[in-house]
Chains A and B, each alone.
Chain A
């Protein structure tokens, strides 16, 4: 397969957000954005995608950089996953995203792959997404008709489908500051020590009694399991609540069988990881 040429296209490299918008408005369905290309290139190689124009976003300065401000942190669409791993602020304050970035693919691919590419590709297994869900991220979108912000929970519409219109693109991902004392973490279960797509990924956020848990690879989109939140307002010891939380997992997900593993195994491991992550965050020893 290696010598097979990719479908033909024209390569475009806009330098500003306005230029990028104009290209998308003009070529709509025929243009495809490329950030790191680590999802796009394999899809083009298999001829799943045959764009007439490939539009490289990495030339646009406004899409680069991680910026912190009073409201939280803003991650530009051209920011690579390794830049996230290297960010002290993200490691300290948004640990779920940091730990997911560290687990995404391998060291070499991470220096090209982006967070925006990860969410726009909308794979059920996308590692960053459960963390963005528990952190309540917002996606800043620019289109021919202006700007809008989409809460991450409304961004995923199905396998490889997002809320973006054809003329729209992601400019940045915003993560709001979390309450003082909030802690978060992502844990990924895979077949090997090295690079592999998640069999299951679980992110959790704990802030006082507020607990949020979200997962990847267990449904057509990354999903929150809201039932878990209620458990922690109820009665019982922390360990009992953690057990109850894990019992909510099977009802909140609908995994499939695939080449990597069986649905039953995914359900089992989703509950196990939920317990592990919650114990770690709540300081409960087992």
Chain B
């Protein structure tokens, strides 16, 4: 058994696990079910979380490597009552169908817009390259990212 401290969604946490456990499974055990387990081998991106602001596939990382890191999961972004502007944009643009890819899409979008508030379509495609969606055909997701950018700029004013 190992124990580390890290920050999850803004709160300092102590978590315990075996060395061979991935961050993905430990986060789910700790109740962060928004971190989805899809392929578990780095392809689908639905397990994406932000580690120190960068999107990372949590199935490609051991929990041990999260020591001292700041982790953000979809639960840390917004709630049903108080959605994040990106979540609002995704809902309004019809960018969510089954929803399985949505946490990865939204967190990847957040990482992009935090750095690049006015992304080109290429920037968006590149940023979302790591997340697969089997439902939407991606177009509505691309629109949702641009709408998110608009909402975030409005919120700043």
A contacts, CB < 8 Å to B: 1-3, 5-11, 13, 36-38, 41-42, 45, 54, 56, 58, 106-109, 111-112, 194-195
Q: Is the CB of A112 within 8 A of B40?
A: no
Q: B84 near A: Cβ within 8 Å? A: no
Q: Is the CB of A8 within 8 A of B19?
A: yes
Set of chain A residues within 8 Å of B20, measured between Cβ atoms? 5-9
Q: B32 near A: Cβ within 8 Å? A: no
Q: B155 near A: Cβ within 8 Å? A: no
Q: Is the CB of A111 within 8 A of B54?
A: yes
Set of chain A residues within 8 Å of B54, measured between Cβ atoms? 111
List 22 A-B pairs, Cβ < 8 Å. Answer: A1-B40, A2-B39, A2-B40, A5-B21, A8-B18, A8-B19, A8-B20, A38-B60, A41-B42, A41-B59, A45-B40, A45-B41, A56-B65, A107-B108, A107-B126, A107-B128, A107-B130, A108-B55, A108-B108, A108-B130, A112-B56, A112-B61
Q: Is the CB of A195 within 8 A of B43?
A: yes
Q: B95 near A: Cβ within 8 Å? A: no
* Chain A interface main SS type: loop
Q: Is the CB of A2 within 8 A of B37?
A: yes
Q: B45 near A: Cβ within 8 Å? A: yes
Q: How far is the CA of A37 from the CA of B56 in the complex (A)?
A: 12
Q: Is the CB of B19 within 8 A of A9?
A: yes
Give, as a whole number of angstroms, the nearest-CB distance from B125 to chain A: 8
Give, as a whole number of angstroms, the nearest-CB distance from A202 to chain B: 22
- Chain B 31-64 residues near chain A, CB threshold 8 A: 37-43, 45, 48, 54-57, 59-62, 64
Set of chain B residues within 8 Å of A106, measured between Cβ atoms? 45, 129-130
Q: Is the CB of A109 within 8 A of B60?
A: yes
Set of chain A residues within 8 Å of B55, measured between Cβ atoms? 107-108, 111
Q: Tell whether A36 pairs with B130 under 8 Å between CB atoms, given A42-B41, A45-B40.
A: no
